Amino acid sequence: MPVRLANAYCAALASTLENYRAVLNGIGVNFPDGLPVVWLMRRRAQQVGQEPMQIRGHDFFLEVLRRGVDHGLKHYLLGPSPSVLVEVQRRLEQEIESVNIAGSFSPPFSPTIDDWLPEATERILAAQPDLIWVGLGTPKQDFATSALALSTGLPAAGVGAVFNFVAGEVKQAPLTMRRMGLEWLFRLAMEPRRLWRRYLFGNIRFLWAVIRTGR
């Protein structure tokens, strides 16, 4: 089963890309990672007495690994670069006693996942993990988790930049900014050249999608 951690950028993309919208509406589960999405869900959920909560990718990833130790869970990491994955594994094994990282794979750069999906599937099945963690960025990772869950029969979760956070490649926003829903602003300040288009147009599209649907 694919697990997706959706933020405002995911919602913005889904409002314009039909194939990505189909992925989010397809088999699997979507957790709200990003306070704007949580706030919108809470506004809608007031009518049925629900209280949605934010599921941050970083916290979700580490908590599952910690709890998985007692159950002997084996994890497979599929992420951005070999060096990042090596550092992630080193830090995880240092910080979480007895964590079991069954293997890792950094797929070659490709506009689609079709070029490396067979190799990734073969590597994962050979490693025999219980969970697959995918950190390739949105929307590629969500297509990948759906495809890998189908090809391997294993749960696959997309965790965005979490590997970069764990490896120390990217700084996390201060807690105060995260609680205020300004984590995107901190990340934009850290990587303006790479992220300005995503946050400028993504946030506008998200707001427009909310206004357009009247929710």
Using CA atoms, how far apart are residues 167 and 90, in angstroms rounded to an integer? 9
pLDDT of amino acid 154: 97
pLDDT of amino acid 150: 94
Selected residue with higher pLDDT from 188 and 156: 156
pLDDT of amino acid 61: 93
Range of the domain at 155: 2-213
pLDDT of amino acid 197: 65
> Binning pLDDT at 50, 70 and 90, where does residue 178 land?
confident
Neighbour count for residue 39 (Cβ, 10 Å): 15
- List, for residues 34-82, the tens digit of each pLDDT value: 666 666 666 666 655 567 777 777 889 999 999 999 999 999 999 889 9
Using CA atoms, how far apart are residues 53 and 112, in angstroms rounded to an integer? 32
Selected residue with higher pLDDT from 183 and 108: 108
Using CA atoms, how far apart are residues 141 and 118, in angstroms rounded to an integer? 16
Q: What is the identity of the amino acid at 160?
A: G
Neighbour count for residue 70 (Cβ, 10 Å): 8
> Binning pLDDT at 50, 70 and 90, where does residue 128 land?
very high
> Binning pLDDT at 50, 70 and 90, where does residue 11 land?
confident
Neighbour count for residue 109 (Cβ, 10 Å): 9
Domain of 46, CATH number, reads 3.40.50
For residue 172, give both structure tokens.
Answer: 């996390």
Q: What is the pTM of this model?
A: 0.78
- List, for residues 144-177, the tens digit of each pLDDT value: 999 999 999 999 999 988 898 898 777 777 777 7
Element (H, E) at 192: helix 192-213
Q: Average the pLDDT over 130-141 and give the result.
A: 92
pLDDT of amino acid 151: 95
Identify whether the C-beta of residue 148 lies closer than 8 Å to the C-beta of residue 154: yes
Give, as one character, the DSSP assignment of residue 118. Answer: H
Give the total number of structural domains in the chain. 1
Which region, left, alpha or beta, applies to residue 176 given φ > 0 means left and ψ of -120 to 50 means alpha? alpha
Selected residue with higher pLDDT from 128 and 80: 128
Q: What is the identity of the amino acid at 118?
A: P
Please, what is the average pLDDT of the chain?
83
